Amino acid sequence: MGGTVFWMPNFNYPAFLEYHRRLKISFCLTVPPICLLIANDSNVRDHFNDLKFAIAGAAPMGPELQDAVSAKFGHGKTMVTQTYGMSEVAGSTTCLAYGEKDMTASVGRLLQNLDARIVNENDIDVEPGQEGELLLNGLTVFKGYHKAPPSSDVFDSNGWFRTGDIVRFEKGLFYLVDRKKELIKYKGNQVALAELEGFLLSHPQILDAAVIGVASKGTEVPKGYVVARDGDVSAEHILSFIKERVSNHKQLRSGVVFVDQIPKSPSGKILRRVLKDMSRADSKAKGAKL
């Protein structure tokens, strides 16, 4: 039967809230950074009471944030679910069925007309529960980039599309870990920056966070950037908080830096290159003082 679709020409958070309340929006497609704004906003009360279905995509979202923002949707009865997709596959690749709830922060199940593989660095299929790059094949997968020559970086020798995304598959559900190009290696061990960001965002005193990799003694180490809710949280406390939750090779060995805001694109994606420029500038400044 269809329905009315409302598009915002430019994202404006206060207007976004008011539109939901005034227009009684019932279905919303959003991204994790906006979910974070909503979850941390104590002024959000009845703005999303009419929301019956909410989907987030474009980046991983941890279960803590998923639960916190869902509490503000549809009188606390509407759970935001996650989807995974890209333009090269004509939109969504995975999702959950309408009304299906999942508390594990998965991106759902593979859609029809698609086949998937998860492979390691040698293009060998990994076991369920293990992380690897997602490869796709099917009717909705594109044929290649316009006027670009064939490349093994885009398709493997059997025509499977390399998404460049690291995922894992457990009990019929896919979980988005991070972009392959945004993984770092500490002494040969892979570290997903998005995973560390998820743990940081689960801290009640942290409003926003980002993690980058910085060079150190022939390897890469994670460095955290944090927007604190107030001045009561220390870098030492945050480092201890992370230490209790992740493996030794994933520790924030380059420390934690407090900032006023995390640089992001208009779509809400973290601009890691800006943070890397900040990190290099800080290192040069410290070197000059020495």
What are 122-142's pLDDT values in tens digits?
Answer: 999 999 999 999 999 999 999
Residue 4 domain-assigned? Answer: no
> Where is the domain boundary, 162, 180, 198?
180
pLDDT at residue 289, as a whole number:
58
What are 153-164's pLDDT values in tens digits?
Answer: 899 999 999 999
Residue 163 domain-assigned? Answer: yes
Residue 289 domain-assigned? Answer: no
- Structural domain tally of the chain? 3
Contact 36, 201 (CB under 8 A): yes
Residue 31 domain-assigned? Answer: yes
E strand residue ranges, 130-285: 132-138, 161-170, 173-179, 183-186, 189-192, 206-216, 219-228, 256-258
Mean pLDDT taken over the chain: 92
Task: Say yes or no: 276 and 191 in one domain.
Answer: yes
In 3D, which of 197, 218, 259 has the Cα closest to residue 33?
197
Residue 92 domain-assigned? Answer: no
> Where is the domain boundary, 133, 161, 180?
180
CATH code of the domain in which 157 resides: 2.30.38.10
Task: Say yes or no: 175 and 192 in one domain.
Answer: no
In 3D, which of 40, 42, 38, 39 has the Cα closest to residue 17?
38
Residue span of the structural domain in which 264 resides: 187-281
Of 76-80, 260-264, 280-284, least confident by mean pLDDT is 280-284
> Where is the domain boundary, 137, 159, 180?
180
* 82 membership: H or E segment, kind and range: strand 80-82
